[in-house]
Amino acid sequence: MTDMRRMSQAVHVEGAQGVSPVLFLCEHASNHFPGEFGDLGLSGDVRQSHVAWDPHALTIARRLAGGFNAPLVSGGASRLIYDCNRPPEAPDAVPEQSEIYAIPGNQALSEAAREARVEGIYHPFCQAVDDTIAASAPQVIVTIHTFTPVYFNRPRSVEIGILHDSDSRLADAMLARGVGGYDTRRNDPYGPEHGVTHSLRLHAIARGLLNVMIEVRNDLTPDEDRMTRLCRALSLSLSGALADMGITTRGAA
């Protein structure tokens, strides 16, 4: 397989011609299992479930990126093959277990097989982010995720999480505005202590860029009307927060 072909499976860049101070990321956009890595011994049900990807996250990210006329870099392979929001040294970059599911194809993985995941999935993703930043010079990075409403059999009441690491500027501004009428909380249901702020640290904080990670409960968008309502509320909160910080965007669509 050529390097270009690998790149095309590992990562997708959309809206690169957009003119915006914002760059959107969506690491867990896909539940594609590229043939060279196989299906990890998982049933179709598990490959469709939230452990393999973030359902609806790519749709939300595309709507927001479209509204802001901004580029979007999204992962092209299941996070069970390699989780692009984790560094190679993190054990859960290639998880042997995800929530209640064992991942057979990740058990006792050889060093060479793990390295092939890093080379085939993680590095192309990071390269695409670097290239897009070089081309579009964003001031802001926003990464879009979704989470399951029931985790380890316990229901979650939080609807939208506004997550940050050491730089909370944009998260603070969004939390001050809120997100529509949604139950919106800081670093909930995940926070930096869970290792989820890798992309923010690597791609944004290291460059001094404003940043936030948005986690949406994946049962909020079961139909077009509710998807539209959610994306409008997120766009208004984000564009308003950026305006509060002196950054003008095309904003909500």
Q: Minimum distance from CB of 50 to Zn ion (Å)?
A: 9
Q: Are 47 and 31 in contact (CB under 8 A)?
A: yes
52 or 231: whose CB is closer to Zn ion?
52
30 or 237: whose CB is closer to Zn ion?
30
Q: Which candidate, 45, 122, 127, 108, places its Cα nearest to that of 77?
A: 122
- Sorted by sequence, the CB contacts under 8 Å of residue 192 that are 6+ apart come out as 163, 164, 165, 166
Q: Minimum distance from CB of 248 to Zn ion (Å)?
A: 29
Q: Minimum distance from CB of 145 to Zn ion (Å)?
A: 3
117 or 198: whose CB is closer to Zn ion?
198
145 or 164: whose CB is closer to Zn ion?
145
H or E element in which residue 235 lies: helix 224-244
106 or 143: whose CB is closer to Zn ion?
143
Strands (E), the chain: 11-14, 22-26, 72-75, 97-98, 101-102, 140-147, 150-151, 154-155, 160-163, 184-186, 210-217
51 or 210: whose CB is closer to Zn ion?
51
28 or 164: whose CB is closer to Zn ion?
28
Placement of tokens 């006792």 in the chain: 108
Q: Minimum distance from CB of 226 to Zn ion (Å)?
A: 20
Q: Which residue is nearest to Zn ion (CB)?
A: 145
Task: Give the Cα separation of 147 and 46 in Å (integer).
Answer: 15
**Binding footprint of Zn ion on the chain (CB under 5 A):** 28, 54, 145
Q: Minimum distance from CB of 54 to Zn ion (Å)?
A: 4
Which long-range contacts (C-beta less than 8 Å, at least 24 apart) are formed by 181-187?
Answer: 181/233, 182/220, 182/230, 182/233, 183/157, 183/158, 183/159, 184/158, 184/159, 184/160, 185/158, 185/160, 185/161, 186/161, 186/162, 187/161, 187/162, 187/163
